[in-house]
């Protein structure tokens, strides 16, 4: 069976724009969370990623025309930019890795997933569409541009048989916006003047490409734009809502982080987006290991990326009753008040040890030996014990280990922490050293598992286990009754042996990674 190693890694995380800063911050046993400003004054803490795309401009300038960086800056959303930044970082640990990836052809793959998609871009463009549609309907629903509404005002009988919505003037103040939307949409749809406008627009759009395709296409587009401008001037109307949404929305669909990395790295093998909520990083790692062991790939760029915390995420998580909202850091294994949303990315470059050694590359961290993936098939958000336990046992069996010396929990500072500690204890033993890190950098939906694995690997490569933000006196009493070997706010020596890491995703998907130090492999 082909062995797999990590040959490059990079990340974007709260207070951590790169892997070196991430490692330095892990040594401090502090929480990296800060107040959320998405609602104005509120009681939420989140993990805001630290990121500046500008630091990567020299990398772009060395490889591409100047407009390439500008395109990324103007057209790509946070998820794509975070992934690009982490990818560029990951090329730095083994000089020459970039050239090898592009030289492998279809035998280098890219699997970069997401848990939330680029919600800020979706939100901004949805809001732009809503506002444009409102302006549009209001314009065509005015009596001077709507004969149907004039007739209604002159004679209510003209609307006989129509389900006319209530006039906004008669609606309660708090419901006025919705009443206006309904009223304007109703009458705009009945405007003879709008029908006339649309007929003229239809004629413009019927202009066909003539002659040579390329030159004819440009000529047709220019003529359409010219006539549309004249149409707008003649009617003095707002821009139509179908012209209000930027094409950037398309350029930021879920597979684009992987696609951009493939383009920037000249990687011509499969580039896809695995989506598995909080288990995304572990699932991407499994896909990458499997592709290499099946001899379909020699190297895989893999990882996960999500935008910075956004009201569209904080609000539903709060209403799902899993988010802390008392203005204080909610740490796993303590009072179980809830988790904290975070954003960022984590990218690894893994490869066949045999292939990478030929190029003189050195592996990083530890060796990922096995990944067990299961589904609970039970509940959309509350994990079962059977599903995660099965993933843990599956991974340990594949790795051929009976026990692990340390375990990193998913642990979200919710009541599920207790069940997870019981699971860990059932699968391991009383000597297993347990870590839980979401009180440090928060809960990155898809990238969080990558941060936690990277923290685990960085520590072991340096012979230690990084501290967590958990104080020993804060440990939940009932949890302490199940297991008592936890890493608190001081680092400790890394025990020798295999280690485990569990992630549990919304929808009930679980990913468990078993790893071992390189000096303990044969």
Average pLDDT over residues 302-322: 97
pLDDT at 522 over 80: no
The torsion angle over the Cα atoms of residues 95, 96, 97 and 102, rounded to 10 degrees, is: 150
> What six digits make up the tokens of 249?
């929305």
- pLDDT computed for residue 46 by the predictor: 98
pLDDT at residue 521, as a whole number: 55
**Mean pLDDT of the region 174-192:** 95
Region 60-88 average pLDDT: 97
Report percent pLDDT > 70 for the chain: 99
Label residue 222 by pLDDT band (50, 70, 90): very high
pLDDT per residue as tens digits for the range 115-171: 999 999 999 999 999 999 999 999 999 999 999 898 888 877 666 778 889 999 998
Query: Does residue 187 contact residue 146 with C-beta atoms inside 8 Å?
Result: yes
The per-residue pLDDT for range 459-483, each reduced to its tens digit, is: 999 999 999 999 999 999 999 999 9
The reported pLDDT for the residue numbered 419 is 96
Residue pair 443/428 in contact by the 8 Å Cβ criterion: no
Look at residue 275 and tell me whether its pLDDT is greater than 60.
yes
Distance CA 331, CA 314 (A): 17
Task: Give pLDDT, residue 153.
Answer: 84
Contact 86, 347 (CB under 8 A): yes
pLDDT of residue 412: 97
Q: Which CATH architecture has domain 4-117+253-520?
A: 3-Layer(aba) Sandwich (3.40)
pLDDT surpassing 70 at residue 104: yes
Cα–Cα distance for residue pair 105/311, rounded to 1 Å: 41
- Give tens-digit pLDDT for 317-338: 999 999 999 999 999 999 999 9
What is the average pLDDT across 79-104? 98
Q: Given phi > 0 = left and psi -120 to 50 = alpha, else beta, which region is 303?
A: left
Which is nearest to 405 in space by CA: 489, 492, 305?
A: 492
User: Which residue from 501, 499, 451, 266 is spatially nearest to 347, judged by alpha carbons?
Assistant: 451
Cα 250 from chain centre: 16
Residues 6+ apart with CB under 8 A from 250: none
pTM above 0.85, yes or no: yes
Q: Token digits for 89? A: 């970082």
The four Cα atoms 219, 224, 225, 230 give a dihedral, to 10 degrees, of 130
The three-state DSSP-derived secondary structure of 417-439 is HHHHHHHHHHHCCCCCEEECCHH
| φ, ψ of residue 215 in degrees (nearest 5) | -70, -35
Long-range residue pairs from 147-154, CB within 8 A, at least 24 positions apart, any chain: 147/191, 147/192, 147/193, 148/187, 148/190, 148/191, 148/192, 149/187, 149/190, 149/191, 152/187
**Per-residue pLDDT at 213:** 87
**In which residue are the tokens 């990315």 written?**
345
Lowest mean pLDDT among 78-87, 149-158, 345-354, 448-457: 149-158
**Mean pLDDT (whole number) for 389-410:** 97
pLDDT bin (cut points 50, 70, 90) of residue 519 is: confident
Domain boundaries, the chain: 4-117+253-520, 123-243
Average pLDDT, the chain: 95
Q: How many contiguous H segments (helices) and E segments (strands) does the chain have? A: 19, 16
């Amino acid at each position: 069976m082909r062995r797999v190693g990590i040959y490059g890694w990079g990340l974007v995380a709260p207070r951590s724009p790169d892997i070196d800063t991430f490692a330095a911050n892990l040594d401090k046993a502090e929480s990296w969370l800060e107040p959320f400003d998405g609602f104005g004054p509120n009681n939420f803490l989140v993990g805001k990623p630290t990121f500046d795309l500008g630091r990567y401009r020299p990398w772009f300038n060395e490889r591409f025309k100047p407009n390439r960086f500008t395109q990324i800056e103007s057209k790509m959303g946070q998820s794509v930019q975070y992934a690009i930044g982490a990818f560029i970082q990951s090329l730095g640990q083994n000089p020459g890795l970039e050239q090898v990836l592009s030289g492998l052809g279809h035998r280098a793959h890219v699997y970069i997933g997401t848990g939330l998609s680029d919600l800020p871009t979706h939100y901004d463009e949805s809001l732009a569409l809503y506002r444009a549609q409102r302006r549009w309907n209001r314009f065509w629903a005015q009596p001077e541009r709507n004969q149907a509404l004039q007739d209604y005002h002159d004679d209510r009988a003209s609307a006989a048989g129509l389900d006319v919505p209530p006039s906004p003037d008669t609606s309660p103040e708090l419901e006025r916006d919705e009443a206006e939307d309904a009223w304007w949409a109703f009458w705009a749809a009945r405007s003879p003047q709008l029908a006339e406008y649309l007929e003229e627009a239809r004629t413009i759009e019927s202009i066909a490409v003539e002659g040579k395709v390329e030159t004819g296409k440009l000529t047709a587009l220019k003529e359409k734009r010219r006539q549309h401008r004249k149409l707008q001037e003649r009617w003095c109307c707002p821009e139509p809502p179908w012209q209000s949404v930027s094409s950037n929305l398309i350029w930021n669909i879920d597979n684009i982080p992987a696609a951009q990395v493939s383009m920037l790295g000249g990687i011509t093998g499969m580039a896809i987006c695995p989506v598995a909520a909080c288990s995304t990083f572990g699932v991407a790692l499994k896909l990458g290991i499997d592709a290499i062991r099946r001899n379909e790939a020699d190297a895989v760029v893999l990882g996960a990326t999500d935008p910075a915390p956004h009201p569209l995420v904080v609000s539903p998580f709060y209403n799902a009753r899993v988010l802390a909202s008392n203005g204080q850091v909610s740490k796993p294994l303590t009072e179980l008040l809830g988790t904290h949303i975070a954003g960022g990315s984590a990218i690894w470059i893994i490869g066949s040890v045999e292939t990478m050694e030929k190029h003189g590359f050195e592996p990083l961290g530890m060796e990922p030996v096995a990944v067990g993936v299961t589904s609970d098939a039970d509940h959309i958000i509350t994990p079962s014990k059977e599903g995660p336990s099965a993933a843990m046992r599956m991974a340990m069996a594949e790795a051929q280990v009976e026990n692990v010396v340390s375990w990193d929990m998913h642990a979200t500072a919710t009541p599920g922490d207790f069940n997870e500690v019981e699971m860990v204890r059932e699968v391991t033993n009383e000597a297993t050293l347990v870590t839980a890190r979401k009180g440090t950098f928060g809960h990155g939906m898809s990238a969080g598992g990558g941060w936690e694995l990277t923290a685990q690997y960085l520590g072991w490569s340096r012979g230690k286990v990084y501290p967590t933000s958990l104080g020993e006196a804060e440990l939940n009493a009932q949890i302490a009754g199940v297991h008592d070997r936890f890493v608190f706010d001081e680092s400790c020596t890394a025990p020798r042996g295999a280690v485990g890491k569990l992630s549990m995703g919304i929808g009930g998907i679980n990913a468990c990674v078993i790893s071992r130090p390189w000096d303990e492999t044969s």
